[in-house]
Structure formats: structure tokens, C-alpha cells
Structure 1
């Protein structure tokens, strides 16, 4: 009643790709590194597969397949951007398994990507994973180190 003692909603965002978890400030793009787009973390991928970090839906899949916004049932939205400046590749090294409006389950394959092709194009493959609607977030705890896709928690997000 009256909002007193209201329980906070904790959302677990699992690791969506195998690789090394690194701070956002290591992303060679100021919009991500300075958290202009949102707070979060990045992964230097070792395998070219992105899987769903929770149950939810695709809010928007970019036409060039290098980026998408996904939404948790709680309303939390996460932007995942594979590589830096990869829009210039016009979708060539990417294969999407979902489209805008699709629902998915944690661990479902969302996008495959060719790491070698991205690097051959002279682009970083580091992948920012950021909260797109930070206004709903009270706190964010980010895990560090190396991780395998779906193996554990990448971020714990506490909603307001």
C-alpha cells in the first residue's frame, strides 16, 4: 500500500556471446565509451554468435543486421551493437535469426557474425551491450573477466 516497502525488480542479463568482458571505456567509439548511448559493458567476442541474454522480444533489428534493441518483460531495453562502424558493411558478415517484433527465449540464437570478415574490413569487433532506457534503472552491477555465451550473469540491473 502507498508504495512503502515496494520490492525492487532485479533483472539478470546473461552473457550473450563468448569472449572477454571489458569496460565500455575500451570501446573505440566515443558515443559508447563516454556512455552517451547508455551504461553497460562490452565483449571482445571469440565466437561469432549472439544469443538472447533473457526472455523477451526484439524491439528493433537494424536493417544492416549489426545491431538490435531487445526488451525484457520488465520493460528493460538493451542495445547490442556488434563491432564498431559495422553499419558500413551493409549486413554482409551478419545473419539474423530474428526480426523486429519477434519473441525469444534466453539462449536462443539472435545473430551470427563473421569475426574474420569484420576484422578484414579494418573494423573493431568489440561489442557494446548497453541499457537503452536508463531512466528505468536504479543500479547496474557489471561482471568482469571472460565468459561463455549463456554461462552466467553479465549484468544485474535493478529497476526503479
Structure 2
């Protein structure tokens, strides 16, 4: 809470995003796909996953499960919109290797399972397993703080903190 000029407290809207996957946290700029590395879809981070379960990184709602099952869109309770894009060029798998555990419109809390993935299949048949985690409504973000690359644990390790306008 901040004090305004008139002594009343103003609420600062902050959202903490934890790792939706366990693995190695990577800068978005280092993702080997220009759509993500040049932040054409928005800013964020990426994770090279080490296990097969994707979980909700914040409390909110599922706004999209792509028909090819390779990506999920979420909106936090404060309005942060996040895309979890599992692997690179995984749209070409036409859903193979992905088992969604949620539906569009479903409310989720941190740690709720979103998707089971077959890392071996993705590793063998897609360009990469690296998973970009992108804020797609960056126009509503006043500030973004990203964690340094490291090993992260799903549901526990903070990866991004944002303040909304």
C-alpha cells in the first residue's frame, strides 16, 4: 500500500507468477524462435521442462486451450493474461503428446494441474521442449521483474512479478 498526496492509502496491483513447470528457467531472449525471443507476443520467461506436468502459475481462469493442445491461455484474478506455449513448433503435433486437464472458463488456483505432456515425444518430434511463458497484455503492465535463470520448481519458484497500471 502506498500513501497518496491526501494521506489515503492506494492499492498497488501486483501479481506474482510462479513456475508452471519444473526445469531450467531461461530468458525469453534466448528462446530459439524469433516470435518469442523478439517479444512479438509479449514479454516473459521460458522453461526447459524436466517433468511432464504443467500447473497453474497463479489464481485465475483458463481463457483458452488451443485446439492443438500445445498452448494454454490464462487470466489472473488481477487481469494479467499469460500464454504457456509448450515447446516450439509443437502446433505441428496436432495435439499428440498433450493431455489437457482443464477446460476454457475453468477457475484455477496456484498448483492446479493444467496439462500432462509427453516430453519424450515432444523432444523427438518438435523443434524444442522449451516452453515460453508470455504476458500477452503487456499494455496493462506498469512494471515487470523477471527472475534470473536458474533451476525452478513448479508451483514454488517465482519467475515473474508484475505491477499493473
Displacement after TM superposition at 1:29 (Å): 1.1
Correspondent of 1:112 among 108, 116, 141 = 116
Matched residue, 2:56: 52
Structure 1-normalised TM-score? 0.94
List gaps (5 residues or longer) in structure 2. Answer: none
Check the 8 A contact 2:93/2:126 in 1, yes or no: no
Correspondent of 1:148 among 140, 153, 160 = 153
Matched residue, 1:72: 76
**1:29 has 2:33 as partner:** yes
Structure 2-normalised TM-score? 0.92
**After superposition, what is the alpha-carbon deviation per residue over 1:59-99, rounded to whole angstroms, capped at 9, x for unaligned?**
11101111011000111100110000100001110000001
CA distance in 1, matches of 2:59, 2:126: 34
Larger Cα Rg: Structure 1 or Structure 2? 2
Aligned residues: 159
Matched residue, 1:98: 102
The residue matched to 1:125 in structure 2 has which SS? coil
Displacement after TM superposition at 1:7 (Å): 3.0
Displacement after TM superposition at 1:54 (Å): 0.9
CA distance in 2, matches of 1:120, 1:36: 27
Give the superposed CA RMSD.
1.5
